Each structure stands twice: as C-alpha cells, then as structure tokens.
Amino acid sequence: MIGAAPEIKLHVLSTGVMETDLTWLLLKGGRTIRDRHHKDDPVVWGDCPTHAVLIEHPEGRVLWDTGVPRDWEERWAPTGFHDFFPVKEPIDGPGYLDSSLASLDLTPDDIDILVLSHLHFDHAANARDFAGGKTRIIANDKEVEGASQIQGYSAGAHIVSDYQGLPIETVSGDVEILPGISVIETPGHTWGTMSLRVDLPQEGTKIFTSDAVYLRDSWGPPAVGAAIVWNNLAWLESVEKLRKIAEETGAEVIFGHDGEQAAQLRYAPDGVYR
C-alpha cells in the first residue's frame, strides 16, 4: 500500500482555537457543562484547537476541513455559541484558515477539492470561501441530508448559513478521493461525520479523525463518549472501525481537538509530512 503511494505531501494548518468546557469533548468523572461566566470555577475549561489538512497531490490540491471563522463574534447569531465556544487566535502559527493558506502562498481558488468532515461550525464555517467555482466541495450524503432538514438558524453545532446553498457533492461510505487519499464514513458524532486517511510515501498512513474522535482520551481503549454525539452506538462502532484500520496500517491517528497532541503537530508553512 505504502509502496504504491503517489508522491504526495501534507501540511497541517492551524485554523483557530476555541476555548470551552472540555466536558463537551469528554464525559468522564462527573463533569458538568458550564459557560464562560463560570470559567474560573474549578472545572475543565481549556483550549480546543482546530486544524485543517492540505494535501499536495500530483492530481490536485485537497483541503480537509476549514476550522473556525475569524469573524465569529459578528457572524454568529446570539445562540450561546459565543459563551460556550469563544474563539482566540493561536499564539503560535499563522492563525486562521485564510492566513494559514496565505503562509503557503495559496488562496481558496488554488484548492481543487475541499472535503468537509461534517458541517459543524468549527469545521465547515469557511466553506463558502471555496464557492468561487474553482473548487469541488465534498461531504457525506447523510450529513448533507441531515443538515438540510434543520429549521431556523442552527441546531446543535450546525449553523445553516455556513453551508446552505453551497454546491456540495455528496459521497457515501468509504471513498477514495484521489489515489492515497480516502474518506472513511464514521457516523455517530453527526449523521455523516467522515474521517480522512492519507497514505504518505515516506511516513506511512495518517488518519485524521475530525470529530469522530475528539481526543486521545476519547480513543481509549475503551472509547469514552462526549456531550455532543448524535448516536452513541454508531459513534462507538465508528471508533472501533477506525481502530481496526489504524491497527492494520500502523497509522498515526490525529484527533479532532486534542490540545496536547495539537502542540506536537508540525504546522504549515514549515511543517510538512511526506
């Protein structure tokens, strides 16, 4: 598998950091969810970093996810998002998606394929920047179907204006996007959350779980669930599906929002995985 991999290289992009009660991410030890007015209470407020992945492939440039919006304070309607998930720019690294791309001398029009792991506000928020006609936008069919049923401004972490009207192509199941780059259907967090598998020629397989697995502590084994899960049984099955693939391939697994792991990643523009 690895021997057959085309010459592709991968950059991890920093795309904004939320602060939040980490209970959203890990229900463990009797934690209860609080908002920012109670952040000084002895709870588990902490950083919830986001990332995107840029893959330079001989057949095109692929972007995985888009992070949180730079203009979150003005953009979000008064929903509670501001209080529960305020955003700050990373101290290290180039910051949000736009500046991360710019650090590589890229703009959204340079991206051939944008793959959205799911349509939550901290993954799909900047997708509209890629609607200029140069980029194919791909998401899971169950995700698009579920998200299209939402009435009003938002439901859970889906904000309708992030994705409504976008020309999204849908895929179903586990699908190869380009040789060496595949999506893995891992529902549970939402209807159609996907994970990303990249088979790198030198460093082997990387699996980016997005919100299928938030944290190393969620991964286990045993897997530990979170507050934001659409279907717990499907979620658990998806984690075990990923674990099996990771064991078979010896993959490194990069979790969706793990602060400790995020600090170890090699970010663009200097960081590159080959």
- What is the binding site for Zn ion (CB under 5 A)? 120, 211
Q: Coil, strand, or helix at residue 160?
A: helix
Could you give the CA distance from residue 155 to residue 176 in angstroms, rounded to a whole number? 30
Cβ 48 to Zn ion shortest distance, Å: 11
**What is the widest separation between alpha-carbon atoms in the chain?**
53
Q: Which residues of 124-149 are buried (b: 16+ CB within 10 A; e: fewer)?
A: bbbbbbbeeeebbbbbbbbbbebbee
Cβ 14 to Zn ion shortest distance, Å: 18
Could you give the CA distance from residue 86 to residue 83 in angstroms, rounded to a whole number? 6
- The neighbour count for residue 45, using CB atoms within 10 Å, is 18
Q: For residues 173 and 238, is the Cβ–Cβ distance under 8 A?
A: no
Cβ 113 to Zn ion shortest distance, Å: 21
Could you give the CA distance from residue 147 to residue 118 in angstroms, rounded to a whole number? 9
Q: Which is nearer to Zn ion, 8 or 168 (CB)?
A: 168
Q: Which is nearer to Zn ion, 48 or 178 (CB)?
A: 48
The residue among 14, 88, 18 whose CA lies nearest residue 52 is 14
Q: Which is nearer to Zn ion, 97 or 178 (CB)?
A: 97
Q: Which is nearer to Zn ion, 57 or 189 (CB)?
A: 189
Cβ 21 to Zn ion shortest distance, Å: 15
Structure tokens at 67: 């992070």
Q: Which is nearer to Zn ion, 178 or 242 (CB)?
A: 242
Residues contacting residue 4 through CB under 8 Å, at least 6 positions apart = none
Q: Which is nearer to Zn ion, 159 or 200 (CB)?
A: 159
Residues contacting residue 109 through CB under 8 Å, at least 6 positions apart = 132, 134, 135
Cβ 235 to Zn ion shortest distance, Å: 11
First-to-final CA distance of the chain: 15
Phi, psi of 172 (to 5 degrees): -135, 135
Cβ 270 to Zn ion shortest distance, Å: 28
Q: Which is nearer to Zn ion, 16 or 180 (CB)?
A: 16
Cβ 109 to Zn ion shortest distance, Å: 26
